[in-house]
Amino acid sequence: MFEWIAQPEAWMALATLTALEVVLGIDNIIFLAILVQRLPKEQQKSARFIGLTLALGLRLVLLTSLAWLVKLTADLFTVLGQGISGRDLVLILGGLFLLVKATMEIGHEMDVLDPAHELEVPGPPGNASYPLMLVQIGLLDLVFSLDSVITAVGMADHLPVMVIAVVIAIIFMMLFAGAVGDFITKHPTLKMLALSFLVLVGTALIADGLEFHIPKGYIYFAMAFSFGVEMLNQRVRARRARHRANA
């Protein structure tokens, strides 16, 4: 079980896989941060903790079910000549879930930002159902867990290496989920950008489920470039605010 400790390639796989799991987990953090904002402030921390604990549990269960994961790649049925496996079905449904949820959140944000609709916004932040929110977080974790675990299975040969990488990634998410959520709350335009990222991720998941593979490097480059532009915008807005304050 521990023979991998003496293998340098196993340690390289652990380092690479841990970095990838952290990067994949950023999507999970962003969506989790956005979801819990709809809860009362005193419930947000516990919802984040329970949500990430669910994510860890789902990932470990999936990792220890390697035989089932292998079967997921077998075609269940065919649509227009395209074979659809269990993995493909989960990715397509998960991508659709992300698209619908992110689009609804974008619409909600637009209503909040529009003064003409300020009094008509249904379900303002702070009054969402706690049990319903945990169900949504659980569905979200299932989507990202499958993607994360399949990545782990494809990169490492030893189950302990996969488990350690996943645990480290979840600990990172637990430590920084609150900070990410607070930062997004203070910067509404970043929240809109994050929701746009989730639309991109949902589209990529659907494409992956239909065997149209978009290299993740392209997706992360687009995200990083957009985030860099937004950081420049934030600095410009901050300078203008200081200039108006000193005028």
User: What residues pair up with 77 in beta bridges, in sequence order?
Assistant: 84
Residue ranges, the chain, pLDDT below 70: 1-4, 6-7, 20, 23-24, 26-27, 66-71, 112-128, 147, 150-157, 180-181, 184-185
Nearest partner of 227 among 200, 189, 199, judged by Cα: 189
pLDDT (0 to 100) of residue 156 = 63
| 69 close to 187: Cβ distance less than 8 angstroms | no
User: What residues pair up with 49 in beta bridges, in sequence order?
Assistant: none
CB-facing half-sphere around the CA of 224: CA atoms within 13 A: 7
What element of type H or E holds 210?
none
Note the pTM of the prediction, 2 decimals: 0.62
| 55 close to 21: Cβ distance less than 8 angstroms | no
145 CB contacts (<8 Å, ≥6 apart)?
55, 58, 59, 62
pLDDT (0 to 100) of residue 42 = 82
Indicate the residue type of 18: T
pLDDT (0 to 100) of residue 34 = 75
Distance of CA 235 to the CA centre of its chain: 26
pLDDT (0 to 100) of residue 187 = 74
pLDDT (0 to 100) of residue 62 = 77
Nearest partner of 201 among 219, 227, 221, 181, judged by Cα: 219
Structure tokens at 215: 């290299």
49-68 pLDDT, tens digit per residue, is: 888 888 888 888 877 776 56
| 155 close to 17: Cβ distance less than 8 angstroms | yes
User: What residues pair up with 75 in beta bridges, in sequence order?
Assistant: 85
Tell me the domain boundaries of the chain.
9-214
pLDDT (0 to 100) of residue 118 = 43
Task: Kindly report the number of other CB atoms within 10 A of residue 56's CB atom.
Answer: 19
pLDDT (0 to 100) of residue 151 = 64
Nearest partner of 46 among 151, 177, 146, 156, judged by Cα: 177
pLDDT (0 to 100) of residue 35 = 78
pLDDT (0 to 100) of residue 88 = 82
Q: What DSSP state is assigned to residue 76?
A: E
pLDDT (0 to 100) of residue 219 = 78
